[in-house]
Amino acid sequence: MPGLHDDRSDLADRLRERGITDERVLAAMSAVPRELFVPEDVAGEAYADVPLGIGQGQTISTPWIVAFSAAALGEFPAGARVLEVGTGSGYGAAVLAACGASVVTVERHPELAEQARRTLAATGYGDVAVRTGDGLAGAPDLAPFDGIVVTAMAQRRLPPALLEQLAPDGVLLCPVGDGAEGTLVRHHRDRDERLADVRFVPLVPGAPSD
């Protein structure tokens, strides 16, 4: 689509102006084609800093929050194991993979999980492992994780199962609040740090049919 390549090229500069300084994250944000991770009818808005609907009552987070979350994990070596809870469109997982992580991502909606698999494969990020299931349960068979990123609002506390799946020096990034409003919390070495006030769809246990 005309103009979208230029918008993606400018994205790093706009994110840098808003305080994102991790060059690896900025390069990843410039590389991943966000317009391919959103419905065709809103592709023209792909690089606006707004959430966009992707179906099943879910949204793709703004470019800034995706970049901020990836940067908040801190430096990690290539191949570090990262769990994402809430695949959505697959865009956040693609950015993490572009940063060098080995990513497994869990989505409770089968339709979104399948679409994410297709998009990730089509955009060169087919190595991302997409699972359908209860994100609150994580992926215990692959734990421990060097990083865990949660893309929905945990209700009132950090999810205990995810804390158990974090490596001793790992970082868990999770919004915590009531309903859709709360605070982005970074948990590292048994300490919690409040990073920003945020809005996310609530983190819901189980599968949609539960």
Q: Which residues are catalytic?
A: 61
70: exposed, middle or buried (Cβ count in 10 Å: 0-12, 13-18, 19+): buried
Question: What does the alpha-carbon distance between residue 69 and residue 101 come to, in Å, rounded to a whole number?
Answer: 14
Question: What does the alpha-carbon distance between residue 73 and residue 155 come to, in Å, rounded to a whole number?
Answer: 21
For 76, residues 6+ apart whose C-beta sits below 8 A from its C-beta are 82, 99, 100, 101, 146, 147
Q: What is the DSSP letter of 22?
A: -
Question: What does the alpha-carbon distance between residue 103 and residue 83 come to, in Å, rounded to a whole number?
Answer: 6
CA 47 to chain centre: 16
133: exposed, middle or buried (Cβ count in 10 Å: 0-12, 13-18, 19+): middle
